[in-house]
Amino acid sequence: MQPVLANYTASITELKKSPTQLLKDAGDETVAILNHNVASAYLVPSSVYKKMMEVMDEYYLSKEVEERLKDNEKPIRVELDELLS
């Protein structure tokens, strides 16, 4: 059985009928859209999507830093102001 990764659920029929009301009822929560009682999509508020993108950006940046530190070169400490000038 597939887990539903949201506190709110709605059928595709409910989504078609009144998407605005669905968003209003869920507030800032993600809504799992069910098709035959199986999650087929997730309706994600823009604030949640923005946070997800920030988390993914940070994750990929940390992976890039880890990869670059593997070359055994000694890191050079710099201040942010030095980079901006």
> Residue-wise pLDDT tens for the chain (85 aa)?
788 999 999 999 999 999 999 999 999 999 999 999 999 999 999 999 999 999 999 999 999 988 888 887 787 888 989 888 7
Residue 59 falls inside a structural domain: yes
Residue 25 falls inside a structural domain: yes
Is residue 21 helix, strand or coil? helix
**Count of structural domains, the chain:** 1
Is the CB of residue 15 less than 8 Å from the CB of residue 39? no
- Tell me the pTM: 0.71
The CATH number for 64's domain is: 3.40.1620
- Size of the chain in residues: 85
Residue 2 falls inside a structural domain: no
Is residue 66 helix, strand or coil? helix
Residue 61 falls inside a structural domain: yes
Nearest to 47 by CA among 28, 31, 33: 28
